[in-house]
Amino acid sequence: MNFTDKLKSIQEQNDSLLCVGLDTDIAKLPASLRGRPDAQLEFNKCIIDATRDLVCAYKINFAFYEGHGARGWETIVETARHIPSSIVTIADAKRGDIGNSSSAYAKAILQDMRFDSVTVAPYMGRDSVEPFLYSEEKGVFLLALTSNEGARDFQLMKTGQRRFFEEVVRKSLKWNVKKNLGYVVGATKASELKTVRAMAPTVPLLIPGVGAQGGDLNNVVRFGCDKNGELAIVNASRSVLYASKGDDFAGAARLEAGRLRDAMNSVREKYF
């Protein structure tokens, strides 16, 4: 099964566009878990078990694990293994380097660690991205337009008649030979999200920035989905992970994940 078909399948099975971002900050874990050597992993497993029927994907942000050395890497691997095989896994690693370096990154993340997909920075061009596009079963999300303030520094700059992020999308669509390329577009950029979807009507869009970052859910679903109300992967992290600071964190995460899924589906029913 190719990557896009797998995504469509789980979105239909769980009736969900929701991706839970496992940006697990040890400092924010419930007091009962803090101090345990496997606190991140235990927390992640509880979140996954509580939400697995409500999501289409889980996104593991490598930054929250790499800083913990070998144990952090083990946690990434063990967390990914705990995710049901029917659910899309996204390595939020933001890789992208010269060809041989990218080949090594692709092997590590997509083969050895067995993630379904990975986020990649396109700044170094085609030869830095191609090693990740080697298999139709593996998805690649290029950073097109991010939700941070610094996105204005380069991504929104005019390059001739287009803005830089539009040029990234226009040019990189030619690399999508195996139909496994998608884009990261921040939820706080509704107008630009609409632009990207118009330019790339049949590719997956990974959309971070709802929940704690304040992205408008109505616009995200309306403009991020394809014509069938699919292929938008709407990520929420902090609002789900830390819905409660107490020992009821898993139950609270489930309630918030369910609320977000149902809210998205209400928008889908309205527009698709």
Q: Which of 28, 94, 178, 194 is catalytic?
A: 94
3-state SS class at 82: helix
Residues 79, 41 contacting (CB under 8 angstroms): yes
User: How far apart (Å, rounded) are the C-alpha atoms in residues 52 and 46?
Assistant: 10
Q: Strands 158-159 and 162-163, how do they pair?
A: antiparallel
C-alpha span between 126 and 176 (Å, rounded): 11
SS3 209: coil
**Amino acid at position 112, single letter:** D
The answer to whether 99 touches 131, Cβ cutoff 8 Å, is yes
Q: Confirm whether 8 is a catalytic residue.
A: no
In Å, how far from its chain's centre is CA 84?
16
190-221 burial, b for 16+ CB within 10 Å, e for fewer?
bebbebbbebbeebbbbbbbbbebebebebbb
Q: Catalytic residue positions?
A: 94
